[in-house]
Structure 1
């Protein structure tokens, strides 16, 4: 009898058995899979699978590992059985580093090879750690959380903010500890995605990704968290990348 895969703590739903490819979508710092609620379950032949990380939503009682390396190892162990078709990780900002680390860890271990890595609004690992949240105190981080909740159409109740403040602080400290002066060069291609109105990470700051593998660059219209709206050009790029038809462009220049 085939093992049921619907009970995975890492995924909200059973992957589509008809999918030609899968993109594991990893939420950014302080957030759960709710950031992908506007995304379709699939786009053409590609299945989009939001990844539930420890310490949030349905996994609230679990403890987050202290490092990206540990979290990547746990995430791979939980998702590897779903890597039976071409797959990739999509990570935005903080989670782009986790997506890179997971892809690199699979390569080092000789495990299933990712077809591509998609990173959005994040500097290459050797260029960090950077980010304005690294210098924020608790009150400032709480303000960031309130803004994120409002951006997602919610109301920042004090109890909810207090709960997720602990999650965000742990994520920020994980980023602080991630120092990779000599990143592994991936054998799979990388698509680096910037956003034209991003005040957090300007597209030109992402120019270090070619040190991590063959990299194509895209810049889409919008602010830092525009990805939550599942813009068609982003979904089309993800699907094209999984089909091996990703764009090949020179790095954008700093603005």
Structure 2
């Protein structure tokens, strides 16, 4: 089973592929205060949860979703069609760092997908290429809740500079040419709901599909749960920053 399929299965009960509740997702998008006819881009859109909510909130908006997951994009298309939003959503199966558009966007999202570009600074540089002057970015990124231990670094495969603390994360965005105009820091409950859903949904699928695929899915669920419970729970935070370009 490839990584994108495992992720698709694991997110079946929590299609927001980040530790963010539905209510807080809506609150972040509402704070964007997009103009009529806004263009929205999601780099690493997964199953399109952010885009379908944005299109519902802003009836004159159009959107592009970019991801490499065939399964995720199919789910996004299905959700958009079910909600009557399909005519305003275009989906592109391509790496996020390879996507190009002739027209800029009022809002660019990259929530929980900054790994597609590398560092936060590299993500923000890539996002800038798609934004209108004064445009907004909605970026979801991890941060250290405290001083990370060597065990945590080893589990996550991270170095000391891969993430900053919360203040340092905001400073990195500022240094990249963005002002933070709003943010949401995920709560312990949001993290737990996301992780129990991810691991539990995948475990249920594995039990319902005995055989090699089920065994692989179960191993992925067990590995992820162990990394969370014995590693980054309470050590790694998550913040979704609403940023505005200042370098114009």
TM-score, reference length from structure 1: 0.35
TM-score, reference length from structure 2: 0.35
- Higher relative CO (Cα under 8 Å, sequence separation at least 6) belongs to 2
More strand by share: 2
